[in-house]
Amino acid sequence: MNRRRTFALALAATALVAGTGAVTDPAPSATSEPRPTLTVKLSATPKPTPTPTPTPTATQSDGTLQILTYRGYAEYGGVSPKVNWVGNFEKETGCRIARLDAVQTAEEMATRVTQRQYDVITAGPVLAADLIAAKQVQPIDPAKVSDYKDLAERFRDMTTVSGKAYGVPYLWAYHEFVYDSSRVRGGGLEQVFSSPRAALKDTPLTIADAALADGSAKEPYELDEAALGKAMALLERNKERVYWQNPIDLVKGFATGALDYAQVTPYYRLLLQQAGIPVKTFPAPRATGWVDSWLLGAHVPDTTCAYRWLNWVTAANAQRDAAAWVGMAPANSKACKGRARAMCETYGVGEPKRLDRVEFAVRPPGGCGAEDGECLDYRVWADRWNALRK
């Protein structure tokens, strides 16, 4: 096996151990020296220690919390004792995590919220909009979240409905399209969508990327029948591509030479490059992105510990830990120091011109009103995507 492939597969092994979907070394502890650059651990890695499961209790009224989030967003020390900001939360606040459920995909998240009630939930744009509309979450009081104003206003507005704040922005990222320059030449995004040796993120929101690549949509999340049809026509040029949910599939695909193109985040591009794979980015005037926010359950009997949690995950220290661990950018720009500095630089935190080109996802049809035409609902997007995937 050549050096390039060995490096890339080592990255994949590290990601499997982390269990977060991110390919990274464990973040340093709070007392460690800042580490602004990314590094790759190539040594053999042991099996992860199972995440401790606290004893469940019936309600939060006795000082406990039930949390639903993505892997890596609320680490309990199960992967590495150095990555344990949940334990620190318990020690400093006196609140105990009675249940911590972590999932990999948005689809898993949407399923879990129908199965039980949680006190706090991490949600992306589609699920957040659905939960707000269904009144499964309640408005938050920004006055009770001490660092709320430190969160980017653009992100706060994404979960504000009728003047009420429903979300506490946490982490965000955006997409790029890359190609293996040792195998193919550059060109345009049309190559990505036409090739069977390409990997696209497995979500209906990828339709927005196709709409941008097609060039006919001014607002990629506000598509009428004609615009959606054009985006789907581009996607249907080749259905034999890879549809990825776990980023490890990207690493393995490029390592084995099975992939020439992919839709990735800048973090995974950097890791592939660091592994010796010469991926380059297609120039694109606009990109799609998303923000994950914390929401407060609608039926929490006592919100004391829930608000302590929202304060905790809003603060720079917690966002710094999470950003460095999962390879995303923090919503609180004050977190852009030490171990999170590399992620902030990678995603352009504090660079308005760079972020102005990012179309952050909303639940289609976005802000499209009746006077703008018949914009299609996300359910239509999901149906078209599922038909594409068959």
What are the tens digits of pLDDT across the range 70-85?
999 999 887 777 788 8
Average pLDDT, the chain: 84
Three-state DSSP class for 122? strand
Q: Is pLDDT at 21 greater than 80 in this prediction?
A: no
| Beta carbons within 8 Å of 215's beta carbon, 6+ residues apart | none
Please, where are the H alpha helices in the chain? 3-18, 85-93, 106-112, 125-133, 153-157, 189-194, 206-214, 225-235, 248-255, 266-274, 304-314, 316-326, 341-347, 352-355, 378-389
Strand pairing class (279-281; 329-330): unpaired
Provide the pLDDT confidence category of residue 6 given band limits of 50, 70 and 90.
Answer: low
**DSSP state letters, 205-270:** THHHHHHHHHT--SSTT---HHHHHHHHHHHTT-S-SEEESSTHHHHHHHHTT--SEEEE-HHHHH
Q: pLDDT at position 3, please?
A: 52
Q: pLDDT at position 147, please?
A: 95
Burial class of residue 32, CB neighbours in 10 A (0-12, 13-18, 19+): exposed
Tell me which of 72-81, 203-212, 294-303 is least confident.
72-81
pTM: 0.85
Q: What are phi and psi of 145, to 5 degrees?
A: -115, 100
Distance of CA 179 to the CA centre of its chain: 22
Tell me which of 67-81, 128-142, 277-291 is least confident.
67-81
Tell me which of 125-134, 209-218, 261-270 is least confident.
209-218
